[in-house]
Amino acid sequence: MLNYDVVVIGSGPGGYTAAIRALDFKKHVLIVEANEMGGAGVMHGALSSKTMWELSQDYAVAASVDRGFRASALNVDYRKVRKSVIQAAKTKQLQMLSQIESFSHIKSREGSLSLKYGFATFVDKNTIQIHHEGKNELVSAVNFIIATGSRPKEYPGIKVDQERIINSDGILNLTSFPGRMIIIGSGIIGTEFATIFSSFKQTEVHLLDRTHRVIPFEDTDVSNFVSKNLEQNGVTIHYTANLRTIKKFQDHLEVILDYEDGHSRVLEVDVALISIGRVPNTDKLGLENIGIKPDERGYIQIQPDCLINDCPEGVNIFAAGDITGHGQLVNIAEIQGRYATKKICQQAPFPLDYSNMSTLMFFRPEVAAVGINEKQAQKLKIPYRAAYYSNELVSRAIAMRNTNGFVKLIISNDGTEKILGMRAAGPQASALIVSVAHLINQGNSLQEAMKLVHPHPSISEGLQECMRVFKNKSIYKPRAFPESIKVWDWEP
């Protein structure tokens, strides 16, 4: 039986990062992967979907006629789009594999990195069985890190065939743009694909929203902004609708929707995309053999150091990524994977802080989020002030001819003016989020943040002016632009 210092189950962002950091500490490391290198996040997740989003936005710009230029004979071929997406995913997979091969034969005193394909099941606290192509192999280790990720959630009564009824894993099975598509679920993934397919202008897109607005976990103003832009992009949003059933016919699907007010509607579509969330991959790990029980939703509860909560005495089994329930984000998975390894190697100098974990939502335009929103602040009974500053007043956005966006900043209203969170939309929103994440992490006040001078012309000047709004020091005033500049407060 082969023995390792650290065995990492799963090669997604959490697992791969954990393995590489363990190699940094000169450990003998094994990665076990059940499917594709990089996990779902490379071929069927973040990288592939964002590649498709980038291509869709390039196409939308090329197709625009309001900037003084016009592209003639513009067309798009889904097969070629698909090929480009797969090439992007393969590029990342080959980079990961190249690194593994580079360290698979190094001297033992420097550690080692190995890869085995197959499904891992715990036999006991120090042993797993790897099942691959009908063969079983036992592997032992001192430490384990579980990073098996998640998979699309199934819709009760609807069978996914990955041909006409698909989930996010089946997007690359399509061979052409569907003429008509309905997306079941208006969370981030469903809304992103609604943006992608509507931007290519080849597909009639319907989006089912069970509530009154998309991405319902966000504040109303952010959700309304996203909904408005989706509809302007050509998406038909079915608010307060529930899917009753999907009937298959030879040349189409018949979708029956039931609405909150009691009426129903029948739609004909070519493809239905089920996007109602994801579930953790914890059900086949044999956790019962080592005394670990996931919660009722299947998540593995972890301590602040990423050690699994109910680990028996003397058992060193950690978890990272989607399976921990801390948010299905690549950056969370990576930081947990790094931290778990540092804890194993007794090199963790500070506890994990989730308060500054930022999120990017690839809509049109993109939306970035960090820290808490108003809903969360009210739930926590935190008094706050909020300010909104539109990109319509930002010189760089005006120069880009792309003023559709804003910055919204939330600070505490307890005398400290601590920065609690930000939401931003529009071009380069992702660039704004890093600076605010740093401010939140450092516990900085508004006054300290306002000492920074932003370059001109830059999108970040919108953030600078949004901060100044709180102090009535902004160059443009709410009185002159009541729809573009706003400030308000809330008390428990």
Specify whether 303 is located in the same domain as 292. Answer: yes
CATH number at residue 446: 3.30.390.30
Helix and strand totals (H; E) in the chain: 12, 23
Res. 313: pLDDT tops 90 = no
Residue 269: helix, strand or coil by DSSP?
strand
Given pLDDT bands bounded at 50, 70 and 90, which one contains residue 1?
A: confident
Specify whether 453 is located in the same domain as 399. Answer: yes
182: exposed, middle or buried (C-beta count within 10 Å: 0-12, 13-18, 19+)? buried
What is the overall mean pLDDT for the chain?
Answer: 94
Specify whether 9 is located in the same domain as 145. Answer: yes
Calculate what percentage of the chain has a pLDDT beyond 90: 85
CB burial of 23-51 (b: ≥16 within 10 Å; e: otherwise) equals bebebbbbbbbbebbbbbbbbbbbbbbbb
Residue whose entry in the numeric block shows the structure tokens 């929203």: 209
Specify whether 17 is located in the same domain as 136. Answer: yes
Specify whether 225 is located in the same domain as 304. Answer: no
The residue range of the domain holding 211 is 165-276
Contacts of 133 (CB under 8 A, 6+ apart): 118
Listed residues 228, 247, 276: the one ending a domain: 276
Identify whether 40 is part of a domain: yes
Specify whether 215 is located in the same domain as 118. Answer: no
What average pLDDT does range 75-94 have in this prediction? 97
Tens digits of residue pLDDT in 41-59: 899 999 999 999 999 999 9
pLDDT for residue 294? 94
Sheet holding 367-371, edge to edge: 359-361, 367-371, 419-425, 406-412, 384-390, 485-490
pLDDT for residue 126? 93
pLDDT for residue 73? 84
Specify whether 423 is located in the same domain as 475. Answer: yes
pLDDT for residue 348? 76
Tens digits of residue pLDDT in 276-302: 999 999 999 999 999 899 999 999 999
Looking at the structure of the chain, the number of domains it has is 3
Res. 255: pLDDT tops 70 = yes
Identify whether 310 is part of a domain: yes
Res. 108: pLDDT tops 80 = no
Res. 400: pLDDT tops 80 = yes
Specify whether 451 is located in the same domain as 393. Answer: yes
CB 188 within 8 A of CB 172: no
pLDDT for residue 298? 94
Residue 108: helix, strand or coil by DSSP?
helix
Identify whether 80 is part of a domain: yes
Bridge partners of 361? Answer: 367
Identify whether 442 is part of a domain: yes
Specify whether 40 is located in the same domain as 122. Answer: yes
Tens digits of residue pLDDT in 349-374: 788 888 778 999 999 999 999 999 99
Tens digits of residue pLDDT in 411-468: 999 999 999 999 999 999 988 888 898 888 888 899 888 988 999 999 999 999 999 9
pLDDT for residue 49? 96
For 186-224, the DSSP string reads: -SHHHHHHHHHHHHTTSSEEEEEESSSSSSTTS-HHHHH
pLDDT for residue 194? 98
Given pLDDT bands bounded at 50, 70 and 90, which one contains residue 158?
A: very high
Tens digits of residue pLDDT in 159-176: 999 999 999 999 999 999
Listed residues 220, 251, 276: the one ending a domain: 276
pLDDT for residue 107? 66
CATH number at residue 108: 3.50.50.60
Identify whether 352 is part of a domain: no
Identify whether 259 is part of a domain: yes
Res. 75: pLDDT tops 80 = yes
Specify whether 283 is located in the same domain as 138. Answer: yes
pLDDT for residue 390? 98
Give pTM, 2 decimals: 0.94
Given pLDDT bands bounded at 50, 70 and 90, which one contains residue 11?
A: very high
pLDDT for residue 485? 98
CA–CA separation, 46 vs 126, rounded Å?
A: 33
